[in-house]
Amino acid sequence: MSWEEMYTEETTCPCGEGRIKQIVYDDDWNRYLNGPVVIECEKCSKRYIVETISTNSGLPSDGSVIVHFLTPKDYPEYSGSSEVKAYGNAANPNWDYTGWLIENFTEDELKNAEEQLLRTKSSANLIGVAAKIRDTHKRALKTVCVGAILASVEEALNLYPEYRGNKLQREELRKKEKIEMTAYRNEKRKYQIRLELRRNSSCQKQLYQKK
Ligand SMILES: [Zn+2]
């Protein structure tokens, strides 16, 4: 199988002296693939970068909407609140179960689970938050033994005060980040040029002849 050039989509660059082009390919199974959007103008390629925004998977066949913008090269990067910058990536329960507990439950929720664990001999009796912890404990640490779950919960409670990025801290920053990121994107949009790429007519003719 091989990808073949199907047609070119293009538009005039902002200075008017060059073109901005994207080649669209297809293969023997009628799948198609968009090549990169290329600024074929010396002046404009020095001033802009192409940024692509897509919904869903980014594949046109999945109904994604794909929009290309020219963004001034000197436009500043987002530098507002960032959950990952402040607290690092979210803990993976398989590698860091204690961290995962702290990031997904409040101190009160863990204390409630601890109380239940201290009162029962069988983890099958656990309810609410404690039952949720039992289920994830089983997946991550392969045991539903009350003693083992209790040890994990107590470790999380011990580390809680020192931990940076617990559930509530992350939630608060995530909300802030979402608001600031939206404001950043909206402001940036004023400086971006939306590209309306159109099928090149001469290539279109070839396409019709081919079919
Ligand atoms: Zn240009």
Confidence of residue 210 (pLDDT cuts 50, 70, 90): very low
Dihedral sign for Cα 117, 130, 106, 88, please: positive
* CA 39–ligand 1 middle distance (angstroms): 8
Check residue 207 and give its pLDDT. 46
Q: What is the DSSP letter of 202?
A: H
Tokens of 21: 């082009």
**pLDDT higher than 90, residue 3:** no
* CA 191–ligand 1 middle distance (angstroms): 16
**pLDDT higher than 80, residue 62:** no
Confidence of residue 1 (pLDDT cuts 50, 70, 90): low
* CA 13–ligand 1 middle distance (angstroms): 5
**pLDDT higher than 50, residue 205:** no
* CA 35–ligand 1 middle distance (angstroms): 20
66-72: strand order across its sheet: 48-54, 66-72, 193-194
70-81: average pLDDT: 97
Say whether 8 sits in a helix, a strand or coil.
strand
Tokens of 78: 């987002």
* CA 197–ligand 1 middle distance (angstroms): 15
Say whether 203 sits in a helix, a strand or coil.
helix
* CA 192–ligand 1 middle distance (angstroms): 15
| 132-180 tens-digit pLDDT | 999 999 999 999 999 999 999 999 999 999 999 999 999 999 999 999 9
* CA 18–ligand 1 middle distance (angstroms): 5
Check residue 54 and give its pLDDT. 84
